[in-house]
Homo-oligomer: A and B are copies of this chain.
Amino acid sequence: MASQNRELKEAGLKVTAPRLKILSMLSDASEQGDHLSAEDLYQRLRDTGEDIGLATVYRVLTQFETAELIIRHNFEAGYSVFEMAPDHHHDHMVDVDTNEVIEFIDEEIERRQHLIAEQHGYEIIDHTMVLRVRKKDGA
């Protein structure tokens, strides 16, 4: 995955082992639809035998977020979770019973969001929309 080298360089970050490991682990998790906290990441790295400090995990995550390589979510109070920045924006529907996550995108909603922001004199930097849902009848 030499492409990751370029991503780091383009972000003005030196290509180091810790950064590559973190990027790769986060990438794998994201493909599984997992959102990892700094601590999650730190533990998984340790389990894989990597000797990366927790402070480094935090620093690197912040740098990746700034470089827009990853996205930070504050779903729960108290800590953040991260996922790779998706190529294409999408919103989430979460089944409250199974925790299954369904991704979707609706152009009309996107359009109106921008319209609303504009009406208030703002431009949208980014946005989040989470629908907490339950299956109709048969659960």
Number of copies: 2
Residues of B within 8 A of A118 (CB): 136
The answer to whether A125 and B102 touch across the interface, beta carbons within 8 angstroms, is: no
Hey, which bits of chain A sit against chain B, CB under 8 A? 72, 74-77, 80, 93, 95-96, 102, 104, 106, 108-109, 112-113, 116-118, 120-136, 138
* 20 additional A-B residue pairs with CB within 8 Å, beyond A109-B109, A117-B131, A123-B133: A77-B80, A95-B122, A96-B125, A113-B129, A118-B136, A121-B135, A121-B136, A121-B138, A122-B131, A122-B133, A123-B134, A124-B132, A124-B133, A125-B132, A125-B133, A125-B134, A127-B129, A127-B132, A128-B128, A128-B132
